[in-house]
Amino acid sequence: MLDQAAAGDWAALRPALAAVTDGAELTWLVMTIVDRPRVEEWSARAVAEAPDDTLALLVSGARHITWGWEARSSARAKHVSEDQWKLFHERLEIAEEQLLEVAEREPSWLAPWYFLQISARGISLGPEIATCRFEAAVRRAPEHPASHRQRLQQLCAKWGGSHDEMHEFARSAMLAAPEGSPLGELVVLAHLERWIDLPDGEDHAYLTSPTVLAELQEAAFRSVLHPDFVPTRGWQSTFNTFAMAFSLADQPRTARLLFDALDGAVTESPWHYLAGDPVKAFKAHRDRAAAY
């Protein structure tokens, strides 16, 4: 499917997407497909040729979000130029229009509500709309990890939330889910978000503090290291998050359990938080844990 997306072969790709009946699976596939370059070109043609094709509209809307962030870049807001902001907003506004149309046509679909959380945050639609869109997503898939990650981002201080809101959401979501749920990752992501905002020295002291270590351990043994945990699509990203956090927190024994389970499956997130190549960072931390 990635090859079809890269080649712009919508005629081959569409039947494969149409055959997917699970909402979380369709969302994950579209998330992955729209990372391919030039998807905006062939998806725009597909929508123009068949305006009633809701799948084409979904792909186009989702791609405009990724494409918008490519224009904005990952730089801090103060380093983004006026032209970048303009292009970012133009693309997200197109995404909004298309994805809201998808949601209206297909009320049961999770995918548009997942992506609409991202566009709402990008164009600052405010906390009420952001909350409504998260709630719409979890009504369709109550334990959808990716939607919960987007909600966590919305509550981060860098997006207008606060550390307290972020941590409260992460912990309450973990405790509300059954043991073995991947939502324990939210607790770890919240601590990594707090860690990355701290100056050198304070960041390491934060992750290695007894309170944070206890919360990391609780999250791990309530989720990925719980006997009831069942790997689902995207489990590697969750394990990478835990592995990095435990490695940074000087807990090589637990980190090694996670690295061994990954067996070399590295994901860009969360290693992009560290300077340099994510694969090199993964290998360095994995090797350090292996030497324990």
For residue range 18-40, what is the model confidence (pLDDT) as tens digits? Answer: 999 999 999 999 999 999 999 99
Q: What's this model's pTM, rounded to 2 decimal places? A: 0.93
If pLDDT is split at 50, 70 and 90, which confidence band does 160 have?
Answer: confident
CA distance 273 to 161: 20
CA distance 266 to 240: 7
Q: CB–CB of 59/30 below 8 Å? A: yes
If pLDDT is split at 50, 70 and 90, which confidence band does 81 have?
Answer: confident
pLDDT of 287 reads: 96
User: Which residues does 226 contact at the CB level (< 8 Å), separation at least 6?
Assistant: 179, 180
Listed residue (195, 187, 122, 190) closest to 159, CA to CA: 122
| Averaged pLDDT for residues 81-90 | 84
The more confidently predicted of residues 103 and 68 is: 103
Check whether 233 has a pLDDT greater than 90. no
Q: CB–CB of 269/257 below 8 Å? A: no
pLDDT of 74 reads: 65
Q: Please report, rounded to a whole number, the percentage of residues in the chain having pLDDT higher than 70.
A: 98
Distances in Å between the Cα of 90 and the Cα atoms of 31, 71, 137, 150, 292 are: 20, 10, 24, 21, 51
CA distance 103 to 276: 39
| Eight-class DSSP state of 19 | T
Give the burial string for 41-80 (b: 16+ CB within 10 Å, else e): ebbbebbeeeeebbbbbbbbbbbbbbbbebbbeeeeeeee
The more confidently predicted of residues 44 and 78 is: 44
pLDDT of 277 reads: 93
Helices (H), 106-144: 111-122, 127-140
- With both helix axes pointing from N to C terminus, report the angle between 252-262 and 235-248 in degrees, rounded to the nearest 10: 160
| Averaged pLDDT for residues 203-220 | 97
Mean pLDDT of the chain: 94
Q: List, as own/partner pairs, every contact residues 200-204 make where C-beta atoms lie below 8 angstroms and the sequence separation is at least 24, other chains included.
A: 204/248
Helix (H) / strand (E) element for 142: namely none
pLDDT of 80 reads: 72
Query: Phi and psi (nearest 5°) for 41?
Result: -75, -55
If pLDDT is split at 50, 70 and 90, which confidence band does 88 have?
Answer: confident
* Helices vs. strands in the chain: H and E counts, helices first: 17, 0
pLDDT of 77 reads: 66
Q: CB–CB of 190/170 below 8 Å? A: yes
Q: CB–CB of 64/40 below 8 Å? A: yes
